[in-house]
Structure formats: C-alpha cells, structure tokens
C-alpha cells in the first residue's frame, strides 16, 4: 500500500535559526491548472528536496466536494475533456488504487477536498517517485495532473471511478 506522508510545519524556537537549503530552480516543477473552458484553476508544484519529492496543490474547484487526482503520462491539456493527457502514469504496469491488491501505480494520488469556499489545498511527500531518467515522470513530453469530477475510490481499475476530467495542468522537465 502506498502511503503519502503529510508535510509538517514546525514553528521556530525563539533564539534558534534554521537554515535549510532551498531547492535549485531545476528541482521545482510547476503546472498552471486550467478548466475545460480554459479558465485558470490554480497551480500544482512538484519539488525535489534533499529529503524527498513533494507535491503541493492550491486550486479552486467549481463546487465543494472530494475529487480524485492522478498524474497522467502525457504533458498535454487540450480542453474540454483533457483526453490529450493520456492514461495514468504507470511505469510499473500496476493496477489502480492504494486499496487494490494489484496496485497502486505511480500516478495514484490522494483525493483533494474542496470546502464550502471551493478551495483545495494539499501538500504531501511522494515516496518512490523518480522524476527524470529511466521510468521518470518528466520524460520528453512531460506529464499532466488531472483533477476528476468525483472522489477516487482507491481500488477500481483504471481510474478509481473518479469520473470526468475537470482540471488539468502540465509539468515539464
């Protein structure tokens, strides 16, 4: 079972300073998110730091709810249906879903929740992710983040019953 690790933010203790190395510009990959009509929906970021690879999402849904998210194998977001993003990124050829005994694959991400204000904010560590090179997410055509219209059930192959693609963003390497 794939576990995503939440990122903890700890306050500084008075009198102590912490100097953490900032990631190099080449270690930050950003995707501007759009809806099928081309309107802006926010931003997603993948950052490689010394202690791993981290994903963050700051987005605005069109309604409150829970939405499935997946990394897709092609860095292309042509609306309105975003079929251009291809299937889920799955270099290990596994089935879909952290609760599927034959899964999860690397494109599986946790659901995003939009509250009454319709904002989705999420940050987590992505274990076992290769960004570049053999089997890496960011190959010649990049990759896409897709946010679907319904929650992912974390077990049904191939999409977790998450429905239509409603938001898309392209990550380039």
Q: Output the domain CATH number for residue 164.
A: 2.60.40.200
Kindly state whether residue 15 falls inside one of the protein's structural domains.
no
Kindly state whether residue 162 falls inside one of the protein's structural domains.
yes
Kindly state whether residue 59 falls inside one of the protein's structural domains.
yes
Kindly state whether residue 17 falls inside one of the protein's structural domains.
no
Q: How many domains, the chain?
A: 1
Kindly state whether residue 2 falls inside one of the protein's structural domains.
no
Assess whether the previous peptide bond of 97 is cis (omega < 30° from 0).
Answer: no
- Its domain, for residue 35, covers 27-171
Kindly state whether residue 13 falls inside one of the protein's structural domains.
no
Kindly state whether residue 150 falls inside one of the protein's structural domains.
yes
Tell me the pTM. 0.84
Kindly state whether residue 22 falls inside one of the protein's structural domains.
no
Residue 18 is predicted with a pLDDT of: 38
Q: What is the pLDDT along the chain (173 residues), one digit of tens a residue?
A: 455 544 443 333 333 333 444 555 558 999 999 999 999 999 999 999 888 899 999 999 999 999 999 999 999 999 999 999 999 998 888 888 888 888 788 889 999 999 999 999 999 999 888 899 888 999 999 999 999 999 999 988 888 899 999 999 999 87
Strand order in the sheet with 5-6: 5-6, 119-125, 52-60, 40-49, 28-35, 165-171, 143-148, 69-72
């Amino acid at each position: 079972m794939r576990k995503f690790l939440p990122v903890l933010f700890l306050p500084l203790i008075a009198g102590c300073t912490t100097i953490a190395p900032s990631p190099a510009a080449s270690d930050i990959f950003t995707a501007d998110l759009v809806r099928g009509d081309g309107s802006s929906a926010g931003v997603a970021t993948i950052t490689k730091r010394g202690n791993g690879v981290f994903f963050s999402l700051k987005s605005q849904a069109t309604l409150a709810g829970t939405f499935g998210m997946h990394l897709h194998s092609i860095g292309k977001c042509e609306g309105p249906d975003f079929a251009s993003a291809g299937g889920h990124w799955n270099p290990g050829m596994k089935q879909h879903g952290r609760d599927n005994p034959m899964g999860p694959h690397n494109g599986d991400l946790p659901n995003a929740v939009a509250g009454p204000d319709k904002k989705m904010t999420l940050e987590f560590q992505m274990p076992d992710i290769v960004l570049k090179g053999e089997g890496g997410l960011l190959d010649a055509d990049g990759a896409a983040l897709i946010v679907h219209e319904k929650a992912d059930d974390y077990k049904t192959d191939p999409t977790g019953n998450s429905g239509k693609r409603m938001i898309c963003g392209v990550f380039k390497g």
